[in-house]
Chain A
């Protein structure tokens, strides 16, 4: 698989399950031991210096988040591992949970120690029964081996971890919706502030991090911040797991250092488009991400550069559409997804998506006009500008980017442009043909 450097953070081996024995044999849990012996302050420094950022999508500095929980006067604190990987086209967390579960457990335990949490939950989506089964077993095993539970490594640090199953809601990937979900409510987002680090689960300070973020921690502690930073770029340290799918030769999960370009990822790892085809668009970051035209694929995978180019790295899903695909069909698919997953709390997301969906259906059926494209643009603006939560705002990303880069495809669907010179309806001709 191309030019992977030898030692990264995850070192993916697709068909290998790393058992606890194997994990311990290859140096697993040395990082936890090191943290406990050198103390939380020093270890936290390491995380902060590593510039590790949240890998769930928001890219918030991970060390800073731990520090915020740690600094809270309230001593009952929680840690939650967000394993509600619902972003379509993303399967990185699933891989971590089903292949290297102990690297994740160790990461969670270290983060718990650093933030001062003694109780934790892994919130795993219900659609991942296999991952749930593996994690439950792994937690039990870790408890038996004294890697979880009371007085870990005789350090006096106790930490209990439980699995919490989601029940089918994309929105619960949003951290405050996830909290509501654990508390037995609908998975609707809460007002921020207060942020979970101040008032999270049951109003206690809570550290919530994505699976990939937490699974990075053991390696950072073990090998040091400067090693970690050396993997990436000045702006974005470390590596990123990328879920590659769509119209390419080779689909799958890869780990890449930050700084590599999207074109390199698609061509070197994904083998490029299928024979005789060209890339039309690349969806980056899942349903909440954007549609990127081929011209922008030389952008490096880097937070700053991507932000400047209007690309959301998000969960790291890369989904390729070749020239046989219709942009509108793809946008419609995304919209149906959001229609089903919107929590329905706020007007712009609920009603905006409802109307956007109606317009898109009309466009695809050849029953819409140019005015409808303008209305769609306006509604998209309201969804992005005024939705309650980040996911609502992101629901407009696919729409916005497709309206920006592929407006001609929208216009081509409009009634005004479907009429041939003779006044016949092209759509009708296609159907009869």
Chain B
């Protein structure tokens, strides 16, 4: 959940009442620790920009890169389009789902990983491809995908250990 002041600040940075709604929605989602657009945020944006809640929600629910559900720290997006499909996407997705114990559209219970299916990442020359947060991985095999997850887990653990030492 995000405080109302953060939402206000974001809107202010985007030009106040001239702010472009879609950019505000993306920025508020980015600023949310759970990388999603909460109902409170939607209501706050509606209030400040004086747009009916139903319209803000309508825009938010239309775009697939905006999530109305909390998401994990690592957002794994698996491309499902024909070039990736034909190059073995199904097996890669299966391996990821098995490794994490969740299906596409779900988040691991520890809140670290979310798996989503997406449309074309523009990486068809190295299909099958996935994107983890902003990084694209191509020419995947199930084994490579599992290895990537292991590396991400390690990265997360390392981050936890460093921040844990502050106590």
Q: Please measure, in the bound complex, the distance between the C-alpha atom of A87 and the C-alpha atom of B126, giving whole angstroms.
A: 16
Q: Does B134 contact A (CB under 8 A)?
A: yes
Provide the bound-state CA to CA distance between A169 and B126, in Å.
22
Would B119 and A325 count as touching, CB distance under 8 A? no
Partner of B120, one of A89, A129, A165: A89
How would you classify the secondary structure of chain B's contact residues: helix, strand, loop or mixed?
mixed
Does B114 touch A at the CB level, under 8 Å? no
B122 and A169 form a contact (CB under 8 A): no
Could you say which of A168, A186, A245 contacts B118, with CB atoms under 8 Å apart?
A: A168
List A contacts of B120 (CB < 8 A).
86-90, 127
Asked whether A25 is an interface residue with its Cβ less than 8 Å from the other chain, the reply is no
The proximity string for B residues 110-148 relative to A, scoring 1 for CB distances below 8 Å and 0 otherwise, is 000000001111111111000100101000000000000
| A333 close to chain B: CB less than 8 A | yes
Report how far A130 CA is from B62 CA in the complex, Å.
Answer: 23
Docked-complex contact B26 and A334, CB < 8 angstroms: no
The prevalent SS among residues of A at the interface is mixed
Chain A CB within 8 A of B25 CB: yes
B85 in the interface (beta carbon within 8 A):
yes
A111 within 8 A of B: no
When the two chains form their complex, are residues A164 and B86 in contact, meaning their CB atoms are under 8 A apart?
Answer: no
Residues of A within 8 A of B65 (CB): 126-127, 166-168
The distance in angstroms between the C-alpha atoms of A130 and B121, with both chains bound, is 11
**Residues of chain B contacted by A181 (CB below 8 angstroms):** 22
Residue A156, interface by CB 8 Å: no
Name A126's closest neighbour in chain B (CB-CB): B65
A contact residues around B25 at 8 Å (CB):
167
- Contact between A336 and B63, CB atoms less than 8 A apart: no
| Pick from A127, A182, A283: contact of B122, CB under 8 Å | A127
Name B residues whose Cβ lies closer than 8 Å to a Cβ of A.
20-23, 25-26, 51, 55, 58-59, 62-66, 77, 80-83, 85-86, 118-127, 131, 134, 136
> Given contacts A165-B26, A317-B124, could you give 10 more A-B pairs where the C-beta distance is less than 8 Å?
A88-B82, A88-B119, A88-B120, A164-B22, A167-B66, A168-B66, A185-B55, A319-B124, A330-B82, A333-B85
6 contacts between A and B (CB under 8 A): A90-B124, A127-B65, A127-B77, A183-B20, A283-B82, A287-B82
